[in-house]
């Protein structure tokens, strides 16, 4: 504590710093709790969507394998080229306790057989089922992407906020309190010494007066 000058001004400054640090820790805890609620709200829908995506991927790979085996890669590639199109995504951001979270919107990927760009007479039902299966997957990915990004960002921000709370509560505030205790102790010791000196002076004056 040698770096701390034990004055009344420093005592007031340290007390004020403790109050500010405690308020900061409280605000950070509120932020962490709000982010944690957002994080927990995302868990169930994400797990549900991941399960649905796994099921759709298995289905898509199964129909693709059948189409490849029966219709051949050339017909599949020809149909894929015919169905090629641009897919525009609308990306926006919102802030939750200062954290930027994305919102992604895209057009419906699933189309009817007449909207896919190839002639229904030139392809088999197996190829059309393959196209439908992979369109479903794209829809799911677009729906899941913002939630997955949110989950990652929220998790990172929760960790960072927790570290800041711990730094305040476990290091800064205890250090400031220790400094306050040290300054008080020194000031009290000085006060006792001053009182003792005054008593001695009074005692001397009384003795001198008697002489």
Q: What is the 3-state secondary structure (H, E, C) of 24-46?
A: HHHHHHHHHHHHHHHHHHHHHHH
φ, ψ of residue 18 in degrees (nearest 5):
-60, -45
CATH of domain 8-197: 1.10.287.3240
> What pLDDT does residue 209 have?
61
Sign of CA dihedral 59, 60, 66, 69: negative
pLDDT tens digits, the chain, 211 residues: what are they? Answer: 557 788 889 999 999 999 999 999 999 999 999 999 999 999 999 999 999 999 999 999 999 999 999 999 998 888 888 877 777 777 888 887 788 887 777 767 778 777 788 888 888 999 989 989 998 998 898 888 888 988 999 999 999 999 999 999 999 999 999 999 999 999 988 888 877 777 777 766 665 665 5
Q: Which residues have CB under 8 Å from 21's CB, separation 6+?
A: 168, 172, 173, 176
Q: Residue 169: which H helix or E strand, with range?
A: none
Q: What whole-number distance in Å separates Cα of residue 83 and Cα of residue 95?
A: 38
Report how far apart the first and last C-alpha atoms of the chain are (Å, whole number). Answer: 47
Q: Which residues have CB under 8 Å from 57's CB, separation 6+?
A: 137
Q: Residue 82: which H helix or E strand, with range?
A: helix 73-82
Cα-trace Rg, the chain: 36
> What pLDDT does residue 207 have?
59
> What pLDDT does residue 59 have?
93
Q: How many CB atoms lie under 10 A from the CB of residue 200? A: 10
The alpha carbon torsion through 142, 144, 149, 155 (nearest 10 deg) reads: 180
Q: What whole-number distance in Å separates Cα of residue 19 and Cα of residue 23?
A: 6
> What pLDDT does residue 170 have?
94
Q: What whole-number distance in Å separates Cα of residue 96 and Cα of residue 79?
A: 44
Counts of helices then strands in the chain (DSSP H, E): 4, 2
């Amino acid at each position: 504590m040698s770096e701390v000058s034990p004055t009344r001004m420093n005592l007031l400054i340290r007390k004020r710093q403790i109050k500010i640090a405690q308020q900061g820790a409280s605000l950070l805890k509120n932020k962490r709790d709000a982010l944690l609620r957002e994080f927990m709200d995302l868990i169930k829908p994400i797990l549900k969507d991941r399960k649905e995506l796994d099921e759709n991927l298995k289905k898509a790979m199964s129909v693709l394998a059948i189409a490849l085996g029966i219709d051949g890669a050339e017909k599949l590639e020809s149909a894929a080229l015919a169905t090629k199109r641009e897919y525009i995504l609308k990306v926006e951001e919102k802030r939750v306790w200062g954290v930027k979270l994305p919102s992604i919107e895209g057009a419906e990927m699933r189309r009817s057989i007449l909207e896919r760009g190839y002639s229904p007479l030139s392809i088999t039902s197996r190829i059309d089922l393959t196209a439908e299966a992979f369109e479903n997957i794209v829809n799911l990915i677009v729906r899941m992407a913002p939630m997955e990004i949110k989950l990652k960002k929220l998790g990172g921000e929760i960790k960072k906020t927790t570290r800041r709370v711990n730094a305040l509560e476990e290091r800064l505030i205890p250090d400031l309190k220790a400094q306050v205790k040290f300054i008080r102790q020194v000031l009290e010791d000085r006060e006792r010494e001053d009182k003792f000196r005054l008593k001695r002076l009074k005692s001397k004056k009384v003795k001198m007066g008697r002489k």
